[in-house]
Chain A
Amino acid sequence: MGIKKHSKLLFLSVFLFLQTQTNAVEGPLSFDELRKGVVQIRVYSQSVNPFSPWTTDPVRAGSGTGFLIGNKRIVTNAHVISNAKFVQVQRYNQTEWYGVKILHIAHDCDLAVLEAENPEFYKDSRDLQLGEIPELNSPLIVVGYPIGGNKVSVTRGIVSRKDQSVYSHPAVDSHLVLQVDAAINPGNSGGPAIQDDKVVGVAFQVATKGENIGYLIPTNVIRHFLTDIEDGKYDGYVELGVRTLNSFNLSLRKAKGIPDSLEGVFVSRVLKNGSAEKYLKEGDFLTEIDGNPIGKNGTVMQDRDARVDFVEIVDNKHAGDKISFKLFRDGKEMSVTFPALRMPDFDFMRNQYDKPYDFAMIGGLLFQEMSRDLITSWSRGGNTSGGSQLLYRFFYFIEDGLNRKKKTDVVLYRKLSHPVNSSSDYFVNLVLESVNGIPVNQLGDLQKILSQSKEKYLRLKFLDVHVPLILDREDAEKADAKIRKTYGLE
C-alpha cells in the first residue's frame, strides 16, 4: 500500500516537471534554434604533479559544454579545458568531432574562448546573444551535455540569489555569481543559461552542501573577459587592495570624528602593490565610489533588487580604468582618483594550470616557490604534521604584509634521499632565507647562487631556525647527477 502511494506521488511530481519544461521552450526562439548555438566539448588533459614537477599525471578524458557568441568564438569554462592536450567539439546534429584552438583562457574568472579549425563545424549554427543580469525570482533554462549521455539536455531553474562568491577554479578570486535552483551536473560546465533568448550566465559550479543549488557566471563577468581579450591577450582582474571595516559602531565613529550623517566604511588595511597603495590610508573613511554611496556595511546598490559589496564596482574595471572615491580623512571630506591595477602578488594563492613548476635542486634537496598547488599536493601527501610556518606564511603572506619585504617564499619542500642529505630532514618544509648570506627572495635568486657559487660550502639559512644547513658544494653537485638518474629527473 505504502509503496503504491509513493509511486503515485512520484508520478505526479515528474509529470509537473515535464509540463513546466515544455512551457519553457515555447517562445520566439524555438529550442531547435537555440541548441544550434550549444557545443559539446571533449577534452583529453594531463596535469603536472607539483610535488614531482618532472613527472606528469595520467591522461584524463572529460567533457563540458560551450556556446557560440559570434565570430566563430566558442565560450566555455576555463576548468573544462585546463591542462588540455587535445580538445574537440561537436554540435547536436553533427557526427564529426572537430578540433579546436584555445584562443584565451582566464583562470581567475573560469572562462575561456575556443575556435574550431574546420568551417564545417559552423555550418547551420546559430550565435547566441549575451543578455543582462537577470532579475531575482526570474526563470531561466540551462542547456548542456551533463553526465548520463551525450545528447543535449535542458534544465529549468529560478534565479534565487545574486552575490559575490569565491570561484573555486582559481580558489581565491571572488566575483559576482548567480545562484539558481537548477540541476546542474558535471558536463554542464560552460553551458549557457538562457532567458528571453539571450545568454544570461554560464553554468560553472554547484554547492557542496544543499541540493540543486547551482551557480552561473553572470554576463558582466563574461563581458569583462571578452573586453579584456580584445587586444589579443588576457590581462586579468584588477584589485583595489584594501581591507575595510563596517561603521556600525558608534564609539568608533565618535572616536574617529566621523559625522553622524556619513555612511561608509573604514579602511583597515592597505595592501602592498594594490591599486590603492599610494592613494588610500589606513583609517580613511570611504563614503562614495564612482558616485555610488557606500553603506555602513560596505555595500552599494547594484540593481534595484540587490546590494553588493562596493568592490564589485572595482571588479568590473580593467587595468588603467579610473577609480574614484569620496572619503573623510583628518576631519575633512575629500576625493581621490587613481588607476586600477592588477596585483600579481595574489597569483601564488591561485590554483595554477597549464604551467610547469620551476624548481631548484642541490644535494637532492628540492626547492620551489610557495604556491597553492604546492601546498595542496603537499597536504595530500600527508606532510602536514609540521608545516605551521609554511601554512601561516601561505595564508598570511599578503594579509600580514610579508610581501613588503620579499617577492615570494622559496621552500625546501622535499628531499630525494641520498647520503649527502642524510642529516637535512630537520629543514624540510621550511622557508629558505639566504645562502652564504645572500638573501633568497625568489627561486631565481637561489638558481643564480647555485649556478655561480664558487664557495666550498653552502650555508643555507632557514627562517625561524638559528642554525644553518651546511652542504659541501662539490659533493652536493656530484650527488645531484646521481640523484637525477636514480630518481628519473631527466
Chain B
Amino acid sequence: MYKISILSFLLLFQFGLFAESSLSGESNSITVKKKSFKTKTQEESSKTTSAVSNSMTSAPLSKGSQESYNKSIIQVKVTFQEPEYHQPWKKKSPRVRRGVGLVTEGNRILIPYSLLPDATLIEVKKYSSYSEIKAVVFRQDPESNLALLRVDKKNFFDDLVPLTFSPVVVFPKQVNVYQLDNSGSIQSTSATLLSMDMDQMPLGQIELPVVDLSSSEGLNGFGEIVIENGKVSGILYEFTSAKNSGRIIPSFVIQKFINTPGINVFAYKGFRFRPITDGAVKKYYGMEESDSGVLVADIIPGSSASGVLKLEDIVLEFGGKNVDSKGYIEHPLYGKQVLSFLAHSGDSFGFSLGKEIPILILRDKKKINLSMKLKSFPYEAVRIPFRNIPVTNDFAVEGGFVFLELSEVLLEEWGKDWRSRVDRKLLYLYDYSKFHEKEGTYGKIVLLSQVLPDESNNGFHDLSFKIVDAIDDEPVKSVMDLKQKIRGGKGDYSLISLDDGTEIALNRKQLKEINERINKSYKIRVQEN
C-alpha cells in the first residue's frame, strides 16, 4: 500500500517535467506530452566573473582647504511624493532624497535637478548650523540636470563663500570629491576623471558632455563636488559602487546653465544619425573613397534640423569640422567627440541657441552647404512623454472609467521588468511612436486604464488598458480634450470608441450624479480644471 502512494507522488513529479507554459499565456492547460525516453542534457557554461579592483591613492588634504570648502558646501534634503501613475488621484508615501549643493555667486545653491522631482519640501543645512532651512527652486534645467535654490532666510549666506568654476575640464586627472556628512563635517575622497562622452542626463533629452569618474571609495552621486586646484570641475550626479565608477556634469556645462538666462539653455541638433562603415553603403550614396560621414536617420519635427536636413542625407562636415564614419569630430581640447558636442555645447566655437551652424552634406550624390539655426528641444513633438518631461499626470474619472495619458512613468509602474509585462501594443507604441511624425501634429495617447465598478458601467468592469480612439467620432488628443468633449458634446450620450472596437456610452444627463457617487464611494480626489 505504501509503495503505491510513493509511486503516485513520483508520477506527479514526473509530470511536472512536461509542464510547458504557452508563450502567449493564453491557456492554463497543456498538452499531455508523449512519454519521453530521452532526457535532455543541458550544458551550462559557468562564467567566472573576475572582480575588477581599482587601486587609488588618496591625495592628502590639508586641513586649511577642508575648512574653506566647509563654507561652500551645503547639505540638501528634499522631501518628495510621487504620484501613483495607475491611480493618479493618489500619491505614494512621502520619501526623502539627500544630496549636496554648492554655494555660487549671487547667493544661490547649485544642486543636481534629479533631487527635485515631485518635491514637497526642500531644506538646506550649512556647516555652522544644525538647523534645516527651507529653500525654494530659483531655476531648473532637466537637460543639464542642474537647479539653483534660493534661501529667503536673512543672513543665511553671510558666512558662506561661493565657489568658482574651472573653465575647462582636464582628464585623465586625479581630483578630490567633497561632501558634507550628517554631522556637518566635510568629507573628501580622491577620484580620477577618466574621459568625456556625450550622453543624456537621467531626466534629459539632449546629449551633453559628461565626464566619467572612477573612485574606489563609496560615493552616492547626489551632487558631490569635484574640485581641482581650488576650482570646481564638476558635480557628481551618478555613481555605481559595484563598478567604482560615476559621472559628473563638467564645469563648463554648469557655467553655461548659470550664465544663460531663461528656460531654454541648450540647443538640440534635432536629428539622429547612423554610422557609415560599410563599403556598399558608401558607394550606394556616392561617397568618394576619401569621404567620411554619417547618415541622417531621424529628424525630430519642429527641431533645428527640421526643414534643413533630409532623411538619408550624409553629413560630411558639421560646424566646419570633418565628421568621421561614426560621427566623431576632432575637438582641440577634448579629442574625439560626437558631433552633437558642437550643436549642444559648442559655445567656444560660437554655436549656441539661435546661432547658425554650418553643415556640409551629400544629398543625391551632390555636396551641398547648409546651415541650421540652433533651436531647443521641441517638446511639443513628443507623443509619449519620456521620464524627464514633467508629466501633467492629467486624468479623468468619468462614469467610473479611468482615463490616463500614456507616458514612460506610467509604463514603469508595471515594475522592474515592465517591458516584458506590459501589453505588447503599448510597448510597441513606446518604442516606435515616441514622437509625432509631422510638425504641427500634437496630442497624447489616451488610455482607458481601468473601470471602477458601478451599476452605471455594468458590462465593462473588466476593461483595462485600451487605447481611446475617438469620442463621438472625433479623435481624442489628451485627457483634457476628452473631458471637454464629454462636457461640450451634444446628444444624450457621449460615445467613446476604444481600439479593440469596444464602445462605451456615457449618459450626459446622469454623469454628474454618477461621478459624485463613484468619487465618494472610491474616494477619488477630483482635479480642478
Asked whether A11 and B432 contact (CB < 8 A) given A80-B34, A166-B26, A254-B493, the answer is no
- Residues on B with C-beta less than 8 A from A60 are 34, 36-38
Which residues of the partner chain B approach A393 to less than 8 Å between Cβ atoms? 428
Interface residues in A229-254 by Cβ distance below 8 A to B read 243, 245-252, 254
For A420, the chain B residues whose CB sits under 8 A away are: 280
A459 to B492, CA, bound (A): 54
Q: How many A-B residue pairs have CB under 8 A?
A: 222
| B23 contacts A375, C-beta separation under 8 Å | yes
- State which of A130-138, A331-339, A462-470 sits at the interface with chain B: A462-470
Question: From residue 129 to 163 of chain A, which have CB atoms closer than 8 A to chain B?
Answer: 146-148
Which of A186, A243, A423 contacts B34 (CB under 8 A)? Answer: A186
CB distance from B470 to the nearest CB of A (A): 13
Interface contact B21-A208, CB-CB below 8 Å: yes
Contact residue among B4, B14, B280, B420 (Cβ-Cβ distance under 8 Å from A147): B14
Determine the chain B residues whose CB is within 8 A of the CB of A172 once the complex forms. 26
When distances are taken between beta carbons in the complex, the residues of chain B under 8 Å from A379 are 23
> B311 contacts A10, CB within 8 Å?
no
CA distance A6 to B295 in the complex (A): 76
**B106 neighbours in A (Cβ, 8 Å):** none
A208 in contact with B38 given A254-B505, A268-B500 (CB within 8 Å): no
Are B492 and A165 touching (Cβ within 8 A)? Answer: no
A472 to B428, CA, bound (A): 31
B427 adjacent to chain A (CB < 8 Å): yes
Contacts of B425 in A (CB 8 A): 392, 395-396, 400
Known A61-B36, A61-B38: A252·B504 in contact at CB below 8 Å: yes
A322: interface (CB < 8 Å):
no
In the assembled complex, which residues on chain A have CB atoms less than 8 Å from the CB atom of B156?
none
**Binary interface profile of B, 501-514, with partner A (CB < 8 Å = 1, else 0)?**
11111110000000
Q: Determine whether A203 belongs to the interface, using a CB cutoff of 8 Å to chain B.
A: yes
Complex CA–CA separation, A426 to B275 (angstroms):
11
CB distance from A160 to the nearest CB of B (A): 14
Tell whether A423 pairs with B281 under 8 Å between CB atoms, given A249-B460, A388-B424.
yes
Cα–Cα, bound, A58→B36 (Å)? 13
Contact check, B34 vs A43: say whether CB atoms are below 8 A apart.
yes
- Asked if residues A256 and B505 are in contact (CB atoms below 8 Å), the reply is yes
A384 CB contacts on chain B under 8 angstroms = 420
Q: A465–B296 Cα gap in the complex (Å)? A: 12
Complex Cα gap A246–B460 (Å): 9
Identify the stretch in B121-129, B367-375, B451-459 within 8 Å (CB) of chain A at 4 or more residues.
B451-459
Q: Which residues of A contact B2 (CB under 8 A)?
A: 7, 10
* A168 at the binding interface (Cβ < 8 Å): yes
Assess whether A318 is interfacial by the CB under 8 Å rule. no
Let me know if A208 and B28 touch, CB within 8 A.
yes
Contact A169 B431 (CB under 8 A): no
B35 within 8 A of A: yes
* Residue in B closest to A391 when the chains form the complex, CB atoms: B424
Give 1 or 0 for each of B479-506: 1 = CB within 8 Å of chain A CB. Answer: 0000000000000110100011111111
Decide: A168 and B27 in contact? CB cutoff 8 A.
yes
Judging by beta carbons under 8 Å apart, are A251 and B424 in contact?
Answer: no
A185 to chain B, nearest CB (A): 6
Pick from B4, B284, B311, B458: contact of A250, CB under 8 Å:
B458
**Contact of A254 with B37 in the complex, beta carbons under 8 Å:** no
Describe B's contact surface by its main secondary structure. mixed
Q: How far is the CA of A187 from the CA of B425 in the complex (A)?
A: 39
Q: What is the bound-complex CA distance between A167 and B36, given in angstroms?
A: 21
* Minimal Cβ-Cβ distance residue in A for B432: A464
Q: Is the CB of B31 within 8 A of A147?
A: no
> Does B90 sit at the interface, judged by CB under 8 A?
no
Q: Is A64 an interface residue (CB 8 A)?
A: yes
Task: Chain A residues near B285: list those with CB within 8 A.
Answer: 470
Residues of B within 8 A of A219 (CB): none
A247 smallest CB distance to B (angstroms): 7
A321 to chain B, nearest CB (A): 26
**Also in contact, A11 and B1, with CB within 8 A (given A61-B36, A186-B34):** yes
- Assembled-state Cα–Cα distance A77/B33 (Å): 10
Of chain B, the residue at the smallest CB distance from A187 is B35
- The interface size of chain B toward A, counting residues with CB under 8 Å, comes to 73
On chain B, the residues within 8 Å of A51 by CB distance are none
A53 touches B (CB below 8 Å)? no
Q: Nearest chain-A residue to B5 (Cβ)? A: A10
Bound CA span A61–B4, Å: 27
Whether A178 is near chain B, meaning CB under 8 Å from some CB there, is: no
- Whether a CB of chain B sits under 8 angstroms from the CB of A47 is no
- Among residues of B, the one whose C-beta sits closest to the C-beta of A296 is B459
B residues near A62, Cβ cutoff 8 Å: 33-37
A422:B493 contact, CB within 8 angstroms: no
Q: Is the CB of B311 within 8 A of A269?
A: no
By a CB distance below 8 angstroms, the chain B residues around A311 are none
Q: Which of A168, A256, A282, A375 counts the most chain B CB atoms within 10 A?
A: A168
Interface residues of A in 381-422 (CB under 8 A from B): 384, 386, 388-389, 391-393, 395-396, 399-400, 420, 422
Contact residues of A: prevailing secondary structure: mixed
In the complex, which residues of chain A have a beta carbon less than 8 angstroms from the beta carbon of B296? Answer: 467
Whether A166 contacts B34 by the Cβ 8 Å rule is no
Whether A205 pairs with B424 at a CB distance below 8 angstroms is: no
A169 with B500, Cβ < 8 A, contacts A14-B1, A148-B11, A255-B495 known: no
A420: nearest chain-B partner, CB-CB: B280
Any A CB within 8 A of the CB of B24: yes
Q: Is the CB of B424 within 8 A of A208?
A: no
User: How far does the alpha carbon of A245 sit from the alpha carbon of B281 in the complex, in Å?
Assistant: 52
**A395-B37 CB under 8 A given contacts A148-B7, A256-B505:** no
Q: Note all chain B residues with C-beta closer than 8 A to A184.
A: 32
Chain B nearest CB, measured from A253 CB (Å)? 8
**B263 beta carbon closer than 8 Å to chain A:** no
Does A166 contact B29, Cβ atoms closer than 8 Å? yes
Q: Check: A35 CB closer than 8 A to any chain B CB.
A: no
Residue pair B427, A391 in contact (C-beta under 8 Å): yes
Which residues of A47-104 are within 8 A (CB) of B?
Answer: 58, 60-64, 77, 79-80
Please tell me which one of the listed residues B30, B277, B460, B507 contacts residue A168 in the complex, with CB atoms under 8 A apart. B30
For A273, the chain B residues whose CB sits under 8 A away are none
List 24 interface pairs A-B (beta carbons < 8 Å), by A numbering: A43-B34, A62-B34, A166-B29, A171-B23, A186-B14, A187-B32, A245-B501, A247-B459, A249-B459, A249-B505, A254-B493, A255-B505, A296-B459, A375-B23, A389-B432, A391-B427, A391-B428, A392-B427, A396-B424, A396-B425, A422-B277, A457-B284, A465-B297, A466-B298
Interface positions of B (Cβ within 8 A of A): 1-2, 4-5, 7-8, 10-12, 14-15, 18-19, 21-24, 26-38, 274-275, 277-281, 283-285, 295-298, 311-312, 399, 419-420, 424-425, 427-428, 430-432, 456-460, 492-493, 495, 499-507
- Beyond known contacts A268-B501, A470-B284: 16 more, CB 8 A cutoff: A60-B34, A60-B38, A79-B33, A147-B15, A168-B31, A171-B22, A171-B26, A189-B32, A189-B34, A254-B507, A268-B500, A269-B500, A423-B275, A457-B284, A466-B312, A471-B280
Seen from chain A, the residues whose Cβ lies within 8 Å of a Cβ on chain B are: 7, 10-11, 14, 43, 45, 58, 60-64, 77, 79-80, 110, 146-148, 165-169, 171-172, 183-189, 203-209, 211, 214-215, 243, 245-252, 254-256, 266, 268-269, 282-283, 296, 372, 375-376, 379, 384, 386, 388-389, 391-393, 395-396, 399-400, 420, 422-423, 426, 457, 459, 464-467, 470-472, 475
